[in-house]
Structure 1
C-alpha cells in the first residue's frame, strides 16, 4: 500500500493529519500551515487577472 503524503508539502501523513476541501476536492494535509498554503494557491489560481 502506498504511503499517504500531504497534498501541500509531500511529507508523510501521521495521526495528526486532517482533510480540507479545496476547489470541490477533499485533500489531506499535515498541518494548518499547509491547509492555508493550499487555500491561498487555489484562490490565486482561480482569481481573474485585473491587469
Structure 2
C-alpha cells in the first residue's frame, strides 16, 4: 500500500487531509497553510 503525501510539502497525510481543487484537479494537502500556498501558486500561474 502506498502512503499518501501532501501535494505541497510531501508530509504524510492522515484523516485530517484537506482537499483543494487546483487547475481542475483535486489534490490533498496536510494543512490550510499548504492549501493556501497551492491556491496562490495556481493564481500566479493563471495570471
The answer for the alignment partner of 1:18 in structure 2 is 18
Structure with bigger gyration radius? 1
CA RMSD of aligned residues (A): 0.7
Q: How do 1:25-40 and structure 2 match up within 5 A?
A: 25-40=25-40
Matched, 1:6 2:6: yes
In the superposition, the TM-score normalised over structure 2's length comes to 0.91
Give deviations 1:6-51, integer Å, cap 9, x for gaps.
000110001111211111000000000000000001111111xxxx
- Runs (4+) of structure 1 moved beyond 4 Å? none
Q: Hey, what's the Cα distance between the residues in 2 that align with 1:18 and 1:43?
A: 19
In the superposition, the TM-score normalised over structure 1's length comes to 0.85
Count of residues in correspondence between the two structures: 47
